[in-house]
A and B are shown apart, each in its own frame.
Chain A
Amino acid sequence: MRTSARLKGNLDLLVLAVLAQAPAHGYAIIERLRERSDGTFDLPEGTVYPALHQLEEAGFVSSWWDTTASRRRRMYALTPSGESQLYAERTQWRNFAASVQSVIGGLA
Chain B
Amino acid sequence: MTEPIEQYLDELYSKLLSEPRAARRLLAEVEAHLHERADALEQQGMDRFDAETQAVQAFGPAAEIARRHAPPLPLRIARAVQSSTMLGGIGLVAIGVSGGVAAAMNALFGRAFVGNQHELYPFSACRHFLAVQQSATTCGRAAVLENSTDAVTLRLAAGVVGLLVIGAVLLWRRVRPQDTAPVSPALACAAFGVGALGLIGASVDLAFTRGSDGVGWYLSGGLVAAIACACYAVPTARRLLIR
Contacts and interface: CB of A to CB of B under 8 A. Distances in A.
User: Is A bound to B?
Assistant: yes
Interface of A: 25-27, 43-47, 49-51, 53, 71-74
A35 B33 CA distance: 17
- Looking at A45, A46, A49, which has the most chain B CB atoms within 10 Å of its CB? A46
A4 to B, nearest CB: 10
B50 interface: no
Given A27-B37, A53-B22, A46 B64 contact: yes
A24 to B, nearest CB: 12
Given A27-B37, A71-B36, A47 B60 contact: yes
Given A27-B36, A50-B69, A45 B60 contact: yes
Contact of B60 (A46, A53, A71): A46
B182 to A, nearest CB: 21
Interface string B9-49: 00000000000001001101110110111000000000000
Nearest to A4: B60
Given A46-B60, A53-B25, A74-B25, 11 more contacts: A43-B60, A44-B58, A44-B61, A45-B33, A46-B64, A49-B26, A50-B65, A50-B68, A71-B36, A72-B32, A73-B29
Contacts of B33: 26-27, 45-46, 49
Contact of A44 (B22, B25, B36, B64): B64
24 contacts: A25-B32, A26-B29, A26-B33, A27-B32, A43-B60, A44-B61, A45-B33, A45-B59, A46-B30, A46-B59, A46-B64, A47-B64, A49-B26, A49-B33, A49-B65, A50-B68, A53-B22, A53-B69, A71-B35, A73-B29, A73-B32, A74-B25, A74-B29, A74-B32
Nearest to B58: A45
Contacts of B68: 47, 50-51
B11 to A, nearest CB: 12
B36 A49 contact: no
